[in-house]
């Protein structure tokens, strides 16, 4: 009897120490490999989305390897089409220079019109007098980022001189924009007495992107290679992962653990599939609505893809659609809408209306019908979870906050319910 009593505390201490060590090792690995969290999670979530499709294909007597490969090929094709659509609108180096000139001109023109500024940029309307101290530094900062460096301006001039005459005539307006931008920047720099500091900050800002772009892209490509592997491994799994988890569970907890895993699996699957369908429908809705008001289809497709992907993070889909739609609307010079009453002057307003209407459709139709009761979380919990996860883990935390909260909530509620039902607690 004495030996048994002494053995139990020793065994308990060993188990607690092993559990603490395992938890510490898990936290260390998660933190050290945090760059793999989003790619691995995307692969796992896509596997959850495609799992019912694989089961349906198997019922049609399609071999499981082929049933697993077909969804991967479809997803790869969709990703390729999306990347090609985005690549088609990504400007080259010279087009990017022209885009920055147009964006800076649009910024100055719109800001001067809204604030009622005179040609000297010293006197404005009442709104300008109220918001001058807060908005002027922001406008100056954006202007510094968009202003061409001397090398870029020289390259722009040389490219225009080497072009044919029609191309030179077409770019004449860009040169007028650049001259207008230079005048405004000179006025604002002289008034603020900081032309030298602005030049220094611009030079510093343009020195490092070229050096870090290749290494950053290589890192992104290498980490995202894990996503299709996770996708294939999870879909090819026939229950060995679940059996491995249940093998470490004591016999008296086997049935409650099996029921808890089933509840978590169902809740996570419903959330992931519902969210994927909602994001897809929102992206298509944004594409249709902003195309109707005059956004070209190739730009509308890119904005719709960006909106649908951003909608995985709560409240980000509307912001992504609004910002990207406004960015195009502010730079657009020619508008060809389907609706006859949309003009260049009212184009920005109609883009905002289209995006707001798409968000309304999502909140009224898509979330109640498509997502349903998959996620029953209070808005405060959603907001605090997303913000807190963003502070701790950055974009990966924002992306995984709601799925993690959903799993934790279902895990806690299901564990308490089944452990009580089976008389464990």
What's the pLDDT score for residue 192?
65
Q: Which residue has the tokens 């089944």?
A: 418
What's the pLDDT score for residue 358?
92
What dihedral do alpha carbons 333, 337, 339, 342 form, nearest 10°? Answer: -10
Q: How far apart are CA 245 and CA 314, in angstroms?
A: 31
Q: How far apart are CA 202 and CA 353, in angstroms?
A: 36
Token couple for 238: 């026939």
What's the pLDDT score for residue 357?
93
The 3-state secondary structure of 320-356 reads HHHHHHHHHHHHCCCCCCCCCCCCCCCHHHHHHHHHH
What's the pLDDT score for residue 163?
55
Average pLDDT for consecutive 10-residue bins of the chain (425 residues)?
Answer: 51 72 77 75 83 87 86 84 72 75 82 81 81 81 80 70 50 77 80 52 42 48 76 82 78 82 83 86 92 87 88 84 85 76 81 91 82 67 81 78 84 84 74
What own/partner pairs with CB < 8 Å and gap ≥ 24 does 370-377 have?
370/274, 370/277, 370/278, 370/281, 371/271, 371/274, 371/275, 371/278, 372/270, 372/274, 374/267, 374/270, 374/271, 374/274, 374/275, 374/406, 375/271, 375/402, 375/406, 377/402, 377/405, 377/406, 377/409
φ, ψ of residue 401 to 5 degrees: the values are -60, -55
What's the pLDDT score for residue 203?
43
CA 380 to chain centre: 21
Token couple for 331: 């730079």
Q: How far apart are CA 371 and CA 297, in angstroms?
A: 28
């Amino acid at each position: 009897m004495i030996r048994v009593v002494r053995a139990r505390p020793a065994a308990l201490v060993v188990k607690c120490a092993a559990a603490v060590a395992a938890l510490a090792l898990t936290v260390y690995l998660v933190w050290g490999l945090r760059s793999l969290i989003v790619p691995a999670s995307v692969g796992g979530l896509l596997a959850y989305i495609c799992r019912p499709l694989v089961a349906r294909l198997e019922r049609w007597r399609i071999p499981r390897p082929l049933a697993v490969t077909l969804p991967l090929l479809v997803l790869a094709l969709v990703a390729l089409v999306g990347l090609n659509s985005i690549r088609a609108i990504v400007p080259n180096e010279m087009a990017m220079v022209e885009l920055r000139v147009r964006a800076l001109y649009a910024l100055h023109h719109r800001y001067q019109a809204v604030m009622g500024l005179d040609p000297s940029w010293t006197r404005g309307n009442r709104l300008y007098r109220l918001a001058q101290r807060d908005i002027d530094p922001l406008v100056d900062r954006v202007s510094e980022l968009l202003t061409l460096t001397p090398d870029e301006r020289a390259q722009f001039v040389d490219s225009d001189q080497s072009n044919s005459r029609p191309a030179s005539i077409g770019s004449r307006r860009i040169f007028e924009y650049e001259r207008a931008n230079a005048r405004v920047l000179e006025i604002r720099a002289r008034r603020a007495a900081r032309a030298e500091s602005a030049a220094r900050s611009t030079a510093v800002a343009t020195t490092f992107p070229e050096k870090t772009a290749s290494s950053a892209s290589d890192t992104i490509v290498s980490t995202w290679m894990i996503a299709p592997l996770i996708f294939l491994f999870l879909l090819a799994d026939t229950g060995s992962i679940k059996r491995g988890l249940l093998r470490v569970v004591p016999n008296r907890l086997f049935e409650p653990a099996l029921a808890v895993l089933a509840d978590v699996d169902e809740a996570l699957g419903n959330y992931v599939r519902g969210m994927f369908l909602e994001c897809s429908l929102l992206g298509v809705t944004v594409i249709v609505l902003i195309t109707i008001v005059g956004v070209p289809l190739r730009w509308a497709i890119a904005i719709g893809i960006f909106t649908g992907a951003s909608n995985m993070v709560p409240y980000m889909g509307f912001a992504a659609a609004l910002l990207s739609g406004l960015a195009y609307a502010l730079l657009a010079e020619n508008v060809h809408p389907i609706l006859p009453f949309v003009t260049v002057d009212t184009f920005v307003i109609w883009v905002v209306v289209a995006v707001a209407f798409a968000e309304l459709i999502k909140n009224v139709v898509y979330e109640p019908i498509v997502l349903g009761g998959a996620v029953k979380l209070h808005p405060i919990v959603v907001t605090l979870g997303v913000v807190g996860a963003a502070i701790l883990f950055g974009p990966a935390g924002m992306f995984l906050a709601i799925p993690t909260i959903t799993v934790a909530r279902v895990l806690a509620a299901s564990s308490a319910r089944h452990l009580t039902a089976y008389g464990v607690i």
